[in-house]
Amino acid sequence: MMRKRQIMRSTKLLAALVAASGAVAAAAQAEPGTLSQLTPIGGGNSGGMVEVSPTAHDVAGPGTFNVEGTVNVHGLAPDTGYRFLRWFDFNPDGVCTGTTARSLPGNPTLTTSDGGAGALHFELSLGAPFVDGVSFDTVWRVVDLAGNTVLQGDCFTVTVK
């Protein structure tokens, strides 16, 4: 009888640990709106992703928008330069209607490898109107140096924290 109670306690403890580990795993997943798949314009096998992570480091001033991000691409032309543009839309409804393209600070160029892949890390620090509590839609595009869009991300909504 004593052995049966120990097994029951062990089973309950194991179930509680499994449930707790599931809660921790759910909390560790990327926040919605921080990852966007890049898909080819006009077909093809190229692609990539943009991932942004808001930081607590207020570079542009208190309560402003500061993120670190990475753009990864694959299947593009080898040894070729690309730039990254983003559009903002302050009507956060999941439909990107922004009309003004903005480059990353310094307008960096990513040159792909011999295999057509590459990655670029970036930091953004934006002041007003990008202040705590403001939500906006954004879409990212990868363009060649002639300005032609080759990859485009999904529209996603970001809330400044």
The token duo for 61 is: 């001033």
Contacts of 38 (CB under 8 A, 6+ apart): 47, 48, 49, 50, 71, 73, 140, 142, 151, 152, 153
Strand 118-131 with 101-103, pairing: unpaired
* Residue where the block lists tokens 């002041």: 127
Query: What are the pLDDT digits (tens) for 105-130?
Result: 999 999 999 999 999 999 988 888 88
Q: Indicate whether this model's pTM tops 0.85.
A: no
Residue 153 clears pLDDT 50, i.e. is over it: yes
Per-residue pLDDT of 4-28, as tens digits, reads: 555 445 444 444 434 443 333 333 3
Is the Cβ–Cβ distance between 69 and 50 less than 8 Å?
A: yes
Report pLDDT digits (tens) over 34-63: 789 999 998 889 999 999 887 777 776 777
Residue found under tokens 């996603």: 156
